[in-house]
Structure 1
Amino acid sequence: MQVQTIQITQLSPEQFEEAIRKAVRSQLETLKREIHPAKVNEEYLSRKEVAQLLKIELSTLHNWCKKGKLHPFGIGNRVYFLRSDIEKALKPLNSQEL
């Protein structure tokens, strides 16, 4: 990691504050590029696994895909779903909807 030095002998408080902000932004951008969060939710699940996870029938899963509620991925004759997409599709219910 590259270390930046800042000379503060002739800076106004505002210039000093801006220099600190720039340095912090630069460090954050560097960290974002270097540290990749663990992709825990980037797991691919089969149709059967998704149906078991959501406790639904495969026909329901098929209907949700046709309606655009879930977005399947495929390779060959296999169909997969991203776990993160499944979690994003789940919406909190309002008490009025119950």
Structure 2
Amino acid sequence: MKEEVKNGNIVTPMLFPYQPEQFWQSLRQIIREEVAKADKERSATVTFETPGLTYKPLFKIAEICELFHITKPTIYDWVRHGKLRPFKIRSRVFFLWQDIQDLLQHKLD
């Protein structure tokens, strides 16, 4: 490839069929789309908040499944092996936030 000299400046030939301004415009558009997609995914992410509390003290099985991306049989297996302790309140089963935090710490270690 041969470099051209125009107005005393060296002009390097482009290897793709875009003018520089078209290239940057396309790149900006792609970045805008990706940022919008990431924002949309972030807003779709499930958050487990309880109004008036800084953290949610009790979690349902379905919430733990979403949090860890696992199935209910995995939760039952964790209970059977002592990784999680269920707490029954009336007819519902809940798990303590502290137990979930401990699991998260072991998962990250």
TM-score by length of 2: 0.45
**Which gives a bigger RCO, structure 1 or 2 (Cα 8 Å, sep 6+)?**
1
Q: Which has the larger radius of gyration?
A: 2
When the two structures are superposed, what TM-score results if normalisation uses the length of structure 1?
0.50
